[in-house]
Structure 1
Amino acid sequence: MKKAMKSRDAKEFIEKAREKFSIELPKKDRYETDESIVLINNEPAFFYHENELLPTLKFILKNDILKKITVDMGAVKFVAQGADIMRPGITKIDNGIKKDEIIAVVDETHGKPLAIGKALFPAEEIRAMGSGRAIRNIHYAGDEIWNI
């Protein structure tokens, strides 16, 4: 059930988002919570996963705040079903990705975000890998968070 955030809680949330993602969220927007999801102007914008604040794909579509890993079109179907991202499907890796960093997974044709994931290795190690899991899929188009 949605409930409006108190002014103090909204300020704390805005500050937390700024610290973690270097983004300025408008103070005048309407902030609500629904379980572990934060809605801004009735749109799911952030959620908590394992006590960590993460942006939703819908928010990422409008705000480019994460480093990216690009996957080939053969991987899209699997990513869209919640599969982790395997090294062979990765075609491009942004520089500076660190282990455990939250990243956006995008398709190579349109560059649209497909998933939010957590890097299991730093960018340099992922590039050097020949196979194996590289990114843990946390939130993807079509999951419960997407469908809110």
Structure 2
Amino acid sequence: MFKNRHSLKRKDARRIAEKLHDMLGCKVEKEMETAEYKDWKLLFINGKIYGFFINDIPFLNVEGLKVFKAERRKVVVDDGAIKFILNGADVMAPGIVNADENIKKKDVVWVSDERGLPLAVGIALMDGAEMVNAGKGKAVKNIHHIGDEIWKLSK
């Protein structure tokens, strides 16, 4: 199922944990492994799939965001947008209620509902402030969401 699964050296695990902390504002355990699955490079934390790499950037998956309680790089959507996002649609600006002002175009971000439940991970197509104020257009390219293959592997 997984190819090339191996434990990370302490130094590499610490570097990834620091990067995740800087990006998301959450403390992540340092016992990590990586593995390949289809086109994905997965990140195991304490033996569970809690992250993956997007363009060689480590990021938590939906389950990891929930467990480690990420605070930064968050885009909040209204209830009307949820069903579309869970079907894999990109996040449209009109459905965005709030977004971290520090988000820059091309950043990896996560999407939550108004109650704070992580729904998806994606790539920002505009800056955070612009997402909230834009009346139209795609704001986040959906990479991973609840119900997709990575989510099923992490359950």
Q: Is the shorter-chain TM-score for this pair beyond 0.5, marking a shared fold?
A: yes
Give 1:87's aligned residue: 93
Alignment match of 1:56 (pick from 58, 61, 65)? 61
TM-score by length of 2: 0.81
Using a 3 Å threshold, how does the CA distance of structure 1 residues 81 and 95 change in structure 2: closer, same or farther? same
- For structure 2, the residue ranges without an aligned partner over 5 or more in a row are none
TM-score by length of 1: 0.84
- 2:60 and 2:132 map into 1 onto residues whose CA distance is 25
Aligned-pair Cα RMSD in Å: 2.0
Stretch deviating more after TM superposition (84-93 or 16-25): 16-25
The aligned runs of 1:1-148 (5 Å cut-off) are 1=2, 3-6=5-8, 8=9, 10-22=10-22, 23-27=26-30, 29=31, 31-35=32-36, 36-65=41-70, 66-108=72-114, 110-148=115-153
Comparing both structures, which one devotes a greater share of its residues to helix? 2
Q: Is the 8 A contact 2:112 2:119 kept in 1?
A: yes
Structure 2 counterpart of 1:16, one-letter code: I
Give the ranges of 4+ consecutive aligned residues of structure 1 lying more than 3 Å apart after TM superposition: 23-27
Q: Is the 8 A contact 1:84 1:137 kept in 2?
A: yes
Using a 3 Å threshold, how does the CA distance of structure 1 residues 102 and 63 change in structure 2: closer, same or farther? same
- For structure 1, the residue ranges without an aligned partner over 5 or more in a row are none
